[in-house]
Amino acid sequence: RPGLFYGQCSEICGANHSFMPIVIESIPVNYFIKWITNSM
């Protein structure tokens, strides 16, 4: 589903990774196809 999804780093591979926020933007597949086609 489209939207913004928030999380935190779950890998301990360096200093302060537990404080590293993550944001994922999910978009409809047709928007992605249009973007990737125009990027080539």
Average pLDDT over residues 13-40: 88
Average pLDDT over residues 11-31: 84
b/e string for 1-39 if b means 16 or more Cβ within 10 A? eeeeeeeeeeeeeeeeeeeeeeeeeeeeeeeeeeeeeee
Confidence of residue 8 (pLDDT cuts 50, 70, 90): confident
Q: What is the pLDDT of residue 24?
A: 94
In the chain, where are the structural domains located?
3-39
